[in-house]
Structure formats: structure tokens, C-alpha cells
Amino acid sequence: MTTKMAINAKDIFRNQHRLIRFIEQSIRLCSNQSLKAAQQQQQQEKSTTADFEISASVNTQYTHAPEPIKHNKDLGDLFKASQMSVRLATPQQLHTKPDNDEELGFGKLFTDHMLKIYYHKSLGGWQKPEITPLENLVMHPAAKVLHYAVELFEGMKAYRGVDGKIRIFRPDMNMARMNLAAQRSGLPTFEGKEFVKCLSRLLSIDSEWVPHTEAASLYIRPTLIGIDPTLGVASSDSALLYSILSPVGSYFKTGSGDGAVSLLADPSYTRAWPGGVGNRKMGSNYAPTINVQNEAAARGLQQVLWLYGEDHQLTEVGTMNIFMFYINDQGEQELITPPLNGLILPGITRDSILAMARQWGKFKVRESVFTMPMVSELLNQGRLLELFGTGTACVVSPINRINYMDQDLYIPTMEQEKPVHELIRDTLTDIQYGKVDHPWSMVID
């Protein structure tokens, strides 16, 4: 009797996947209408912003294709997505989906499933990937990740396109960055393509969690942690590569109401330094920022502008790269961002913006150091047009005020008639939400 009941329940949750697919296909059919509408609108808009057309082919001259990763000789077996095992959540384990996608906040809700891949050198290397219900991790209290910050992560997003299809953005870039961070942390490397295949499977299983709105998306958080239960500060012989998914709205609560953020620029705090790991997405770059962020909040400011050096170079803002659009000494419009000199996280949004802007060729684009005294002077001369942060979580985050040396600098980012940061955001989100076809967008089947 109980056995029979159990089988029935099993059948239901085994077939849940197909059921979801069926519902999805229906939704796609419906949304083909909205796709056509969106594309028509796009065509009309193009005629007005013809200067900044999106080219479907990316000129390789403008992008840096990530180099293939070199694995350590003693790494052992690599994992393959084809070896994956899937254990679906029982109906009791399924979570309620949020009612309103637009009030999700950031990283508070998680989907029904997760991806896990263990690495044990003693067992020959990487083990088989598994998708399981979202569940707690169990680890020894001496696990390296809990003591020495042997951990790194990535931030990606899955977007529900106007055609109902789910897309991810330049995943090869995240994989390359993740492997570089692994090497820097004494953690095992892996084949990025295989991991993306695993992630795609996870996304496909939890596809109903990808919000049906452009105001939200499904945040993907791949994480790699060292779990050896030993207290020596050393490379990891055991590790866990996993990913959780979280439907997210807008990252920042802004103070001004118009979406712009205010910043604390205090030169007494430093985020990164030469010979450190500021250019790797390692957990160790984040804990030291929390208290400084609290100080900013206590002063009524939303984010920290990280300065470096005696000349107070602008490096990053919060967890974002920073861009300035201004009139240069030659009287030309120029987009400038700090160079990848080891102090800067090599942002994928940053790289995409640089490539797009260079391909547009409508204003100067430069990777170069710029300082707070320069910002002050440009403001005084009316030559600073826009300042904004960029990243996966926020796409583009305009800045309207900097508190620097106890003075408020007001930035006219939101006062421009045709602001470049909006153009950039629209172009990127058009690619991400499938309004235009683009090689940077990868459709999840």
C-alpha cells in the first residue's frame, strides 16, 4: 500500500520536468507575439539611434578570447557533463515561487535544485557531476574554506528572452576567470565547457524559476571551495564545485529614486594592491569590504568607491568596475575605465562595454588610470558627463554623488540628454533578453 503510494509520488516528481517543459512551450508560443512586437519596436528605435547599432558579429580585434586553461600535471580526472546524475526534488521539497518578480531583492530566494561536483585527489580527481534538490552542505569543522578563505565564485545570469527562451551571457569568460582564480587559490581546475553544460542542465530543470520579466533574471552562483579537513595552510586535495540559482530583481536599493547611487570615497581603505589578488574573484577580496560598506551606509551613502595610491586612483565601486564619460583634453568625448593592472577585477560587463564602444567608434575609448583630483577638476570645468559602475548584478549603475575628503561632489550622470550609460545598458540588455541575436548570448536548450 505505502509502496504503491511512494511510486505514484515518484512518478509525479519524475515527470515534473516534462510537465514544466510543456508549460514552457505553451508560454513560448504565446510570447512569440510579444517577440514580434519587440522586434518591430527595436527596428523603430534603431532608426533613431543609428549611430550605435549592434553588430551581430563581434570584431575579434575588440575582445580578448580567454586562453584555454592549463591544468596541473597531478590534477587527475576531469569531469564530464555526460556523466551527470540527477536526483529531482520531491513534491514536498519544492519551494514556492515568488509572486512578484520585481521585488525579489538579491540572493535571498533559491531554486529547487543545485549542482555539485566533488574533487578528491585520493579518488583520482574530479568525481561525477550531480544535480540534487537544494540542500545543506555537510562539512568537517576543519574544512579549509572555513579557516583560510579557500573559496572563489562567479556571478552569471540566466535571462528569459522575449521569445521565452533562456539565455546566458558569455559563459566562457566566467569559466576562464574561475579557473584563473582556482589556480591562484591552490584549488583544482576544470574544463569550463563541461561545467557550462552542467549548468545548462540545472537551468533547464529549474527553468520555471527564470523570471518572465525584463525587470528580473535568474542569478547563477558557481562556487568552488576547499574542503580538506586539515589545518595546514596549503593547496586543496579535496574540493567542491557547486552552483545554486537565485531569482533576482535589482541589486541596489538606490537612495535618489532615479536609480543613481551615492559613494563614499575614503582613501584610508584599500581593496586591492600590486602583488595581491584583486584581479581574481576570490572570497578573500570581499570580507574586508563589509565594514567599509557599513561605514558608507552609516553616512547615508550606498556604495564604496575604492581608491588606490597617494594620487587616489579610482579602481572599483562596490563590487563593480567603474567608467567615466567626459570631455578629454583634446575636447573629444571619451569613455575611460581603469586598466587591468592587477588591482581591477576583469569584469565581463566591462570587457563587453569596451568591445561594443570600440566597435561603435563614435567616441574615444581608453583604459587608463584616473584620479580623484582629476574628477574634481573635470567637474569644476563642466567636462565630467557621466560616472557609472558596471557588473553582472547591476549591468550599469549610474553615480550621482561622491563623498570625498568630507566634501560632496555632485556628478551630472543623470542630467545628460542622451546618456551613454543608458545606451550601454539598453544595448547589453537587448542582447541578454534576446531582442537581437548576438554571439555573446547562448541559448539554453
CA distances from 180 to 70, 144, 237, 355 (A): 10, 19, 17, 22
Strand 261-265 relative to strand 395-404, pairing:
parallel
Instruction: Say if CB 131 and CB 406 are below 8 A apart.
Output: no
- Which lies closer to its own copies via its Cβ, residue 52 or residue 118? 118
- Residue 70 within binding range of its own copies, rule CB under 8 A: no
Q: How far apart are CA 273 and CA 265, in angstroms?
A: 17
Nearest-approach distance from CB 318 to its own copies, in angstroms: 8
Binding mask 336-375 for its own copies (x = CB under 8 A): ----------------------------------------
- Which lies closer to its own copies via its Cβ, residue 151 or residue 163? 151
CA distances from 415 to 82, 161, 240, 252, 264 (A): 52, 31, 47, 20, 21
- Which lies closer to its own copies via its Cβ, residue 231 or residue 443? 231
Nearest-approach distance from CB 331 to its own copies, in angstroms: 36
- Residue 285 within binding range of its own copies, rule CB under 8 A: yes
First to last CA, the chain: 39
Identify the H or E element spanning 376.
helix 372-380
Nearest-approach distance from CB 333 to its own copies, in angstroms: 33
Nearest-approach distance from CB 32 to its own copies, in angstroms: 34
Residue 259 makes CB contacts below 8 A (sequence gap 6+) with 397, 398, 414
Output the nine-digit C-alpha cell for 63.
575582445
- Which lies closer to its own copies via its Cβ, residue 54 or residue 145? 145
Stretch that binds its own copies, among 54-62, 285-293, 360-368, 424-432 (CB under 8 A): 285-293
Binding mask 114-133 for its own copies (x = CB under 8 A): x-------------------
Strand 320-327 relative to strand 384-391, pairing:
antiparallel
Stretch that binds its own copies, among 11-19, 139-147, 323-331, 428-436 (CB under 8 A): 139-147
Q: How far apart are CA 422 and CA 397, in angstroms?
A: 9
- Residue 283 within binding range of its own copies, rule CB under 8 A: yes
When binding is defined by CB under 8 A, the residue of 9, 65, 233, 405 that contacts its own copies is: 233
Residue 183: φ, ψ to 5°: -60, -40
- What letter represents residue 234's amino acid? A
Nearest-approach distance from CB 173 to its own copies, in angstroms: 20
- Which lies closer to its own copies via its Cβ, residue 268 or residue 368? 268
When binding is defined by CB under 8 A, the residue of 204, 230, 328, 333 that contacts its own copies is: 230
Q: How far apart are CA 247 and CA 219, in angstroms?
A: 6
Stretch that binds its own copies, among 189-197, 209-217, 289-297, 358-366 (CB under 8 A): 289-297
Output the nine-digit C-alpha cell for 49.
539611434
Residue 64 makes CB contacts below 8 A (sequence gap 6+) with 351
Q: Where are the beta strands (DSSP E) in 309-362?
A: 313-317, 320-327, 333-337
When binding is defined by CB under 8 A, the residue of 90, 93, 127, 223 that contacts its own copies is: 223
Binding mask 234-273 for its own copies (x = CB under 8 A): xx------x-x-x--------------------xxxx--x
Output the nine-digit C-alpha cell for 148.
583560510
Footprint of its own copies on 304-343 (CB under 8 A): 319
Q: How far apart are CA 191 and CA 204, in angstroms?
A: 20
Footprint of its own copies on 78-117 (CB under 8 A): 105-108, 110, 114
Footprint of its own copies on 389-428 (CB under 8 A): none
Residue 104 makes CB contacts below 8 A (sequence gap 6+) with 98, 211, 216, 247, 248, 249
Provide the 8-state DSSP code for 209.
Answer: G
Stretch that binds its own copies, among 134-142, 165-173, 360-368, 414-422 (CB under 8 A): 134-142
State the residues that interact with its own copies by CB under 8 A: 105-108, 110, 114, 134-143, 145-151, 153, 183-186, 219, 221, 223, 225, 229-235, 242, 244, 246, 267-270, 273-277, 282-291, 293-294, 319
